Amino acid sequence: MIKGKTIAFLVAPEGVEQVELSEPWRAVELAGGTPRLVSSKPGHVQAFNHLDKADTFPVDMTVDDASAAEFDGLVLPGGVANPDMLRTDPKAVRFAKGFFEDGKPVAAICHAPWTLIEADVVRGRTLTSWPSLRTDLRNAGAEWVDQEVMVDTAGPNTLVTSRKPDDLKAFCQAALDAFSD
């Protein structure tokens, strides 16, 4: 259980894969935690079901007003556009990097490791991701594996990664385990 813990979900204003946001969010709530949506802009974020617009979700705070110190862990949902936008936003990258500096658990799925590459926190770590990130992760000094979920504890924090929406059950369980430590 993660009762009493607050977990940040870092999402760009547009392009997050809805199921990769909503399923981990629900898992955190069911485990007694408090999920909080952090984005680079206030208002709402636009989620997608692959390439089709889906629901919008209210932003709880912006990266300007948030710091890793306020949270017990971080979830980075995927989709292609979401992490591509985040990795070009220095404040979002600094926010994500703060969890590694503070030794707090991070869970990233699909294309989300792009943000971690930009934060320069994957060197020496073992990750999985959407297969098209394999070369990017290797070039950034990570070992890439093709498996449903990878839990890496070799660095200053626990890093949980998964490849795709089909891996969400294993991803959510591994993330909750990491957040409960």
Crossing angle of helices 18-30 and 168-180, rounded to 10°: 40
Q: Is 44 a catalytic residue?
A: no
H/E stretch holding 23: helix 18-30
Residue indicated by tokens 């998964």? 162
Report the b/e string of 89-123 with b at 16+ CB within 10 A. beebbebbbbbbeeebbbbbbbbbbbbbbbbebbe
Q: Is 110 a catalytic residue?
A: yes
What gap in Å lies between CA 12 and CA 85, rounded to an integer? 6
Residues labelled as active-site residues: 110-111
